[in-house]
Amino acid sequence: MSAPELHGYVAYYDDVDSLIGAARRVKESGFRRFDAHSPFPVHGIDPAMGIRPTILPWLVLGAGLTGCAVALGMQYWMNGVDYAFLISGKPLFGLPAAIPVTFEVIILLSAITTFVGMLALNKLPLLSNPLHRTPGFERVTADRFAISIEAADERFDEQATREFLRETGATVIERCEADDSPAGLPKIVKQLTMVAAAIALIPPALIAMERYGTRTTPRIHLIPDMDHQPKAKTQSASSIFEDGRSMRAPVEGTVAVGEWIEDEYRATGKVADQWGSGFPFTIDEVVMQRGRERYDIYCGVCHGLDGLGRGPVSVRAESLQEAAWIPPTNLHDERLLTVPEGQLFDVITNGIRNMPAYSGQITVDDRWAVVAYLRALQRSRAADREDLPAERQEDFK
């Protein structure tokens, strides 16, 4: 194995004065690839070594200005444009309210730039440096002063430079040997890193799978948020109440606000417990059209649009041979032609046999409108040409 290559010399000095003096001489002798090392910043060494002011302040100024623009732009766009909402009467973008965040972002970017910029300009981190392999150099961070000259410098000469350093007042001069240990990371570190990287990929992969894949069971819900709440849901059972229901019935005779109807006939279809006849309000074109619309929606599906009891539900039920199916009444049935309007209203309201109540779906006045339309429908089966408007009579000659 040949002798290790020379990286440079390190010369040690006892105090600040001799360090500064020596640094000045090294610089004046035309060396460029040299540096002075001390445990603390030595004042007065910059001019001696000819170190020019760093550009760091300009980088930081740039970062500060960038921060200002970014912060103002971000706040303007986010609150003023992209997601604009009014809050406590403040303008969408008001400069006074934008200043604190702008200020903080300026400082944030400037501080990061200061730190990162300092490291970058100093070419740090640099974990492998031949100087650290020089035994005497260890005390440079404690109580010793040193000047290092690299062999790569044009003026470097193995003998002459050593002599020269001796002349500058160095107490000790050390050879600094080039780092001949293999460059790069040890194999085991590389392998471990790769394994770690592979393992690190698992969680994001799982997340992606959960997010974009399809599955029949509910997704895993890591944070249940408010999924489980100690409360009773609609129509569920409850052990608290005697009747075993979680829902409470309203007090007997309760009427919802705004739903109390003064006119008994209009509300129930009865007058003094007897079915009433006629309508509680005037039937005009509008009511009739409304009645027809409601009828077509709610009644027609079973009773048929023509009222003959052959609506699509009924037809399908019969075609399926449903044994229990009771066909809907033919509304043109003789019996129904004479039933009082009040009773028809009551049937719609409360249902009859297996026809359900429609009071939940059709409002009171609409039910009367349906009754009115039903009367018109019944009348239409017994109509002759004279019943038609004059201009339509011609069509039925």
Partner 1 sequence: MSAHATIHAPERAKVTPTGLASRGKLFTIAGLALCALALVLGLVQDGGTRHLQHSWLLAVTYFITLGLGGLFFVLVQHLVRAGWSVVVRRMAEHVAGALPLMGLLLLPIVVPTLFGNGDLYHWADTHEREVSHLLHEKAPYLNGPFLLVRVLIYVGVWTLLVRAFNRRSLAQDDTGDPALTQWMQTRAAPSVLAFALTLTFFSFDMLMTLNYEWFSTIFGVYIFAGSALALFATLVLFSRRFEKRGELEGIVTTEHYHDLGKLLFAFVFFWGYIAFSQYMLIWYGDIPEETQWFAARWVGGWKVVSLVLLFGHFLLPFVGLLSRHVKRNRLLLSGWAVALLVMHLVDLYWLIMPTLSPEGVRVGLIDIACLLGVGGLFLGGVLRRADGRPLVPLQDPRLDESLAFENI
Partner 2 sequence: MVITTTTDHDPVKTAAAAPEIDVLSDDPTQRPPLMTGQNDFTSITDDVCGIAERPKPPRAWYAAFGVSLVGTAVMFGMLGYLVLNGVGVWGNNQPVAWGWPIVNFVFWVGIGHAGTLISAILFLFRQGWRTSINRFAEAMTIFAVCCAAVFPGVHIGRVWMAYYLFPIPNQMEMWPNFRSPLLWDVFAVSTYALTSLLFWYMGMIPDLATLRDRAKGKIRQAAYGLFSLGWTGSARQWHRYEKAYLLLAGLATPLVLSVHSVVSFDFAVSQVPGWHTTIFPPYFVAGAIFSGFAMVVTLMIPARQFFGLKHLVTMKHLEIMCKIILATGMMVGYAYAIEFFIAWYGGNPYERFAFINRAMGPYAWAYWTMAFCNVVAPQAFWFKKVRTNLWAMMGVCILVNVGMWFERFVITVISLSRDFLPSSWDYFKPTAVDVLTFAGSFGLFFTLFLLFCRYLPMVAMAEVKTVLPQAHAGHGAHAEEVAQ
The reply on whether position 43 binds partner 1 by CB under 8 A is: yes
Measured from the CB atom, the residue of 30 and 89 that comes closer to partner 1 is: 89
Contact 118, 56 (CB under 8 A): yes
Residues 60-89 that bind partner 2 (CB under 8 A): 60, 74-75, 78-79, 82-83, 85, 87-88
Q: According to the binding rule CB under 8 A, does residue 100 interact with partner 2? A: yes
Please, what is the minimum distance in Å from the beta carbon of residue 233 to partner 2? 20
By the rule CB under 8 A, 172 interacts with partner 1: no
User: In this structure, what DSSP letter does residue 229 have?
Assistant: -
Residue 112, contacted partner among partner 1, partner 2, none, CB below 5-8 A by kind? partner 2
State how far the Cα of 96 lies from the Cα of 17, in Å rounded to an integer.
Answer: 54
Considering CB under 8 A, how many residues would be counted as binding partner 2?
74
Residue 305, Cβ density class (10 Å: 0-12 exposed, 13-18 middle, ≥19 buried): middle
Q: Which one of partner 2, partner 1, none interacts with residue 75, CB within 5 to 8 A by kind?
A: partner 2
Name the CA dihedral angle for 110, 113, 118, 122, rounded to a multiple of 10 degrees: -160
| Residue 239-258 contact track with partner 2, rule CB under 8 A, x = bound | --------------------
- Residue from 69, 84, 97, 195 binding partner 1 (CB under 8 A): 97
On whether the CB atoms of residues 170 and 13 are closer than 8 A, the answer is: yes
Q: Which is nearer to partner 1, 16 or 376 (CB)?
A: 16
Residue 65 or 200: the one with the smaller Cβ distance to partner 1 is 65
Find out whether the peptide bond into 125 is cis, omega within 30 degrees of 0: yes
Q: Which is nearer to partner 2, 165 or 344 (CB)?
A: 165
Q: How far is the CB of 22 from partner 1 (least distance, A)?
A: 16
Say which entry of partner 2, partner 1, none residue 89 contacts (CB below 5 to 8 A, set by partner kind): partner 1
The answer to whether residue 107 forms part of the interface with partner 1 (CB under 8 A) is no
Q: Which residues contact 342 (CB under 8 A, 6 or more apart)?
A: 265, 268, 269, 270, 271, 275, 276, 277
Would you give the end-to-end CA distance of the chain in angstroms? Answer: 125
Residue 108: name its binding partner from partner 2, partner 1, none (Cβ under 5 to 8 Å by kind): partner 2
Q: Which of 5, 65, 69, 104 binds partner 2 (CB under 8 A)?
A: 104
Give the ranges where 7-55 is alpha helix by DSSP (H).
16-28, 45-49
Contacting residues for 166 by C-beta, under 8 A, at least 6 apart: 11, 173
Q: Which does 118 bind (CB under 5 to 8 A by kind): partner 2, partner 1, none?
A: partner 2
54 scored as a contact of partner 2 (CB under 8 A): yes
Nearest to 299 by CA among 369, 381, 379: 369
If the CB atoms of residues 43 and 397 are measured against partner 1, the closer one turns out to be 43
Compute the Cα dihedral for 273, 278, 280, 285 and give only its sign.
positive
Tokens at residue 287, please?
């009511």
Contact flag: residue 131 with partner 2 (CB under 8 A)? yes
Could you tell me the two tokens for 203? Answer: 């969680």
Tell me which of partner 2, partner 1, none is bound by residue 283, counting a contact when its beta carbon lies within the kind-specific cut-off of 5 to 8 angstroms.
Answer: none
**Total Cβ atoms within 10 A of residue 23:** 27
- CB-nearer residue toward partner 2: 206 or 388: 206
